[in-house]
Amino acid sequence: MPRYARHLYRDGPHNPFPGLKALERRLGREIPHRLGSNEGLDMPHQALSQRFGDEVATLARSYSDAEAFGLRQRLATLLDIPLDTLLVDAGADSLIALALRATCEPDNVVIASAGTYPTFGYFAVGQGCDLQEVPYQNRPGVLAPNLAALAKAANRHHARLVYLANPDNPGGHLHEDQAIAALRQSLPEDCTLLLDEAYFDFRSDASTPSSTAVWPGVIRVRTFSKAHGLAGLRIGYAIAAPECLEMLQKVRIHYAVSSLAQAAAETVLDHADEVQAHIAAVIDRRERLTAWLRELGGDVPDSATNFVALRMPSADLAACVHAELLDAGTLVHRPPHPALGHVLRISTLEDALKPERLNALEKALQGAF
Ligand SMILES: Cc1ncc(COP(=O)(O)O)c(C=O)c1O
């Protein structure tokens, strides 16, 4: 079986609009007179400038750099990996959709954990794939994707793609790199491992070399939505072998990432101290929230993310607490998948630690619900 959708093995399709920035780089000089792209370059943008400043108005007028060169350069330096192993797109979600588009044809089997980040299954089914789910390791203190079960299902079904969030959502569990490498080894050679690392930056070993390794047959997907606080601007990146990224490029929406999103991500990366301080604050709050919930008798697995998962004694109780919190104006997340209906996932913002904020939850844990 081929690793990618069969039609992508032909020559093309070739992006008809690589864009002005790519042309400037190829020519080695600027093109000052931009009469070829029909942008509204002469739009005065008084209202936009007044509200957001001149720079936002300037960025807004032009098509972005489809190759996100400046951002990829920064990432390549930061992660110490070659430029051609990086691809920037409109968030991890877009990259998940892109990986599916490049690898799968209708009726291909894809594998995921039952109850994991549901956007993967939503996109996979929307593309006509056959989604096969395997249960989590789900017992007191542990809510973790079952790597052996994922591998077994992939081999049994000759799957085209296996999805794994690491660290996981909603459990927060982190599988070590060795376990991921072993999972890759145990998958069929032509099956791609889509490794969703949206919460990568919260790992304590985020700066070790293996955490940025380019593994054959693996697409690592990351985002600026979490540790970098840019969820509203839609930007993320993939790390994969160059030949894999070439296939993804064939079906990518070339201007999906705006110039503003690219400039914002570059700026945030250029201020690494601010990002690191934010991550440290999140981890501190996560540990305090975990300790508090455990003191109340809650079953809270260790989390390597910016949220904690609380396993309630039953799905009914979790639904009641969820509804009562919502009545009081607080939204925590209860996974929609029936397999994880007993789980409540809480973002580790300062607000979560306010004494009154999670009142209904506290009552429930103390048996007074
Ligand atoms: C595991 C996982 N992947 C992807 C995403 C989406 O990331 P993005 O905002 O970059 O699309 C999320 C967001 O919650 C997530 O939890």
Q: Which atom of ligand 1 is nearest to the CA of 168?
A: 1
- The reported pLDDT for the residue numbered 350 is 93
Q: Which atom of ligand 1 is nearest to the CA of 231?
A: 9
- The reported pLDDT for the residue numbered 212 is 75
- The reported pLDDT for the residue numbered 164 is 98
- The tokens for 122 are 């939503």
- The reported pLDDT for the residue numbered 151 is 98
Q: Which atom of ligand 1 is nearest to the CA of 224?
A: 10
Q: Give residue 368's pLDDT band: very low, low, confident or very high (50, 70, 90).
A: low
Q: How far is the CA of 134 from the centre of ligand 1 (A)?
A: 21
Counting residues of the chain whose pLDDT is more than 70, the rounded percentage is 99
Q: Residue of the nearest CA to atom 12 in ligand 1? A: 198
Q: How far is the CA of 43 from the centre of ligand 1 (A)?
A: 34
Q: Residue of the nearest CA to atom 2 in ligand 1? A: 198
- With 70 as the cut, is the pLDDT of residue 369 above it? no
- The reported pLDDT for the residue numbered 227 is 97
Q: How far is the CA of 122 from the centre of ligand 1 (A)?
A: 13
Q: Which of 89, 93, 343 to mutate to test the pocket of ligand 1 (most atoms within 8 A of CB)?
A: 93
Q: Which atom of ligand 1 is nearest to the CA of 165?
A: 1
Listed in sequence order, the DSSP H helices in 28-169 are 46-52, 54-61, 69-79, 91-103, 119-126, 147-157
- The reported pLDDT for the residue numbered 209 is 64
Q: How far is the CA of 170 from the centre of ligand 1 (A)?
A: 11
pLDDT tens readout for residues 36-54 = 999 999 999 999 999 999 9
Report the predicted TM-score, pTM, of the whole model to 2 decimal places: 0.96
Radius of gyration of the chain (CA): 22
Q: Residue of the nearest CA to atom 15 in ligand 1? A: 198
Q: Which atom of ligand 1 is nearest to the CA of 94?
A: 11
Q: Which of 117-126, 157-166, 209-218, 316-325 has the least mean pLDDT?
A: 209-218
CB-count burial class (<10 Å; 0-12, 13-18, 19+) for 172: buried
Q: Residue of the nearest CA to atom 13 in ligand 1? A: 198
Q: Which atom of ligand 1 is nearest to the CA of 93?
A: 11
Question: How far apart are the C-alpha atoms of 346 and 19, rounded to whole Å?
Answer: 42
Q: How far is the CA of 222 from the centre of ligand 1 (A)?
A: 8
- With 60 as the cut, is the pLDDT of residue 226 above it? yes
pLDDT tens readout for residues 337-348 = 999 999 999 999
Cβ-count burial 309-345 (b if 16+ within 10 Å, e if not): bbbbeeeeebeebbebbeeeebebebbebebbbbbbb
Question: How far apart are the C-alpha atoms of 284 and 286, rounded to whole Å?
Answer: 5
- The reported pLDDT for the residue numbered 358 is 86
- In whole numbers, what is the pLDDT of the chain averaged over residues? 95
- With 90 as the cut, is the pLDDT of residue 309 above it? yes
Q: How far is the CA of 221 from the centre of ligand 1 (A)?
A: 9
Distance (Å) of CA 234 to CA 61, 99, 190, 262, 275 = 18, 17, 30, 9, 17
Question: How far apart are the C-alpha atoms of 346 and 228, rounded to whole Å?
Answer: 19
26 vs 2, residue with greater confidence: 26
Contact 171, 196 (CB under 8 A): no
* Token pair 């939503």 in the structure block, residue: 122
Q: Give residue 210's pLDDT band: very low, low, confident or very high (50, 70, 90).
A: low
Distance (Å) of CA 93 to CA 20, 122, 138, 221, 368 = 27, 11, 26, 9, 40
Contact 144, 136 (CB under 8 A): yes
Q: Which of 175, 200, 223, 257 to mutate to test the pocket of ligand 1 (most atoms within 8 A of CB)?
A: 223
- The reported pLDDT for the residue numbered 362 is 86
Q: How far is the CA of 369 from the centre of ligand 1 (A)?
A: 33
Q: How far is the CA of 281 from the centre of ligand 1 (A)?
A: 20
pLDDT tens readout for residues 231-253 = 999 999 999 999 999 999 999 99
Q: How far is the CA of 118 from the centre of ligand 1 (A)?
A: 10
Q: Which residues line the pocket of ligand 1, CB cutoff 6 A?
A: 91-93, 117, 165, 169, 196, 198, 223, 225, 231, 236
pLDDT tens readout for residues 132-168 = 999 999 999 999 999 999 999 999 999 999 999 999 9
- The reported pLDDT for the residue numbered 213 is 82
Contact 238, 95 (CB under 8 A): yes
Q: How far is the CA of 239 from the centre of ligand 1 (A)?
A: 16
